[in-house]
Amino acid sequence: MKEKLLVIVGPTAVGKTALSIELALKLQGEVISGDSMQVYRGMDIGTAKITSEEMRGVPHHLIDIHDPTHAFSAAEFQGRATELIHQINQRNRLPMIVGGTGLYVQSVIYQYEFSEAGQDEAFRSKMEQFAEERGREALHEQLRQIDPVTAQRLHPNDLKRVIRALEIYELTGATMAEYQNRAKQSPYELCLLGLTMDRAVLYERINLRVDLMIEQGLVDEVERLLKRGYTRDLISMQGIGYKEIVEYLEGNVTLPEAIESLKQNTRNFAKRQLTWFRSMKEIEWIDLTEPTDHLKIVENICSYAAGKILS
């Protein structure tokens, strides 16, 4: 018998967190965060991390599990989330993955085999030597030439993942997206929901969220991280909300310029998220543009989920 799994995806600021709490309370759910940044301790405001009060007693997993020095990966997320799904099902509760990191979510629901392309140690050594001699930017440019989508997603300093993407292309002739988007059946009794809204409304919500982050002390949060020795070249510190404020704190831009850059980068990220999730044909989309009855939406989703996985 397949294990049950409810997944809620959507762009940043669309309202995933609030809706997931209402659903979890009604469906006896436990939330597994599907966000690549919320794993980091001390990075709360910039990641819009849920507070203990907002959780309303709903168990949450994969939040605050690593220091910012850790290079969290889709493979690690897959391993941890897969085990949690099993444990939560064993407790006769409903596991709910909630998040906006598309690769992480897909790696679990389709159980990607991250190692199936094999490894080529000689090729890796060659690429590491290339990066050492020519620089990481030059290696990143090689990836951009053959796989611009993955190159856009990876920072040049993320050497391990840049080399892995090049290695997969070397071994299979496929880009990372082609390699990972091969159609597979989910091993789960799956209910996959996508939240969306009119782009203008979403962008306004993003702008307001950024303003709120600044009011809540985002600049102080980033300053504390830097003082604790977390440098700008870390993967975590390259996240949206952190890299822009670092630019300000280092005197490269004014605060208004940093805030505008943060808003623009977040809007661009939301656009990329929607593009990614639109490619997942099995998603049941829910439009939250109109300020309609929130409880009615929750009831409708519960009915839909019951028909899909809870019958």
Q: Which residues are annotated as a binding site?
A: 10-17
The CA angle 192-193-198, to the nearest 5 degrees, is 150
Closest by CA to 54, choosing from 33, 40, 72, is: 33
Taking the mean position of all CA atoms in its chain, how far away is CA 174?
23
From the annotation, which residues make up the binding site for ATP? 10-17
Beta strand 4-9 with 29-33: parallel, antiparallel or unpaired? Answer: unpaired
Closest by CA to 46, choosing from 222, 167, 181, 207, is: 222
Taking the mean position of all CA atoms in its chain, how far away is CA 89?
23
From the annotation, which residues make up the binding site for substrate? 12-17
**Burial of residue 282 (number of CB atoms within 10 Å: 0-12, 13-18, 19+):** exposed
Give the whole-angstrom CA distance, residue 95 versus residue 105. 13
Give the whole-angstrom CA distance, residue 36 versus residue 101. 6
The helix (run of H) or strand (run of E) holding residue 196 is strand 189-196
For residue 277, give Cα distances in angstroms to 49, 68, 87, 99, 105. Answer: 21, 27, 27, 11, 10
Copy the structure tokens of residue 309.
Answer: 């996985």
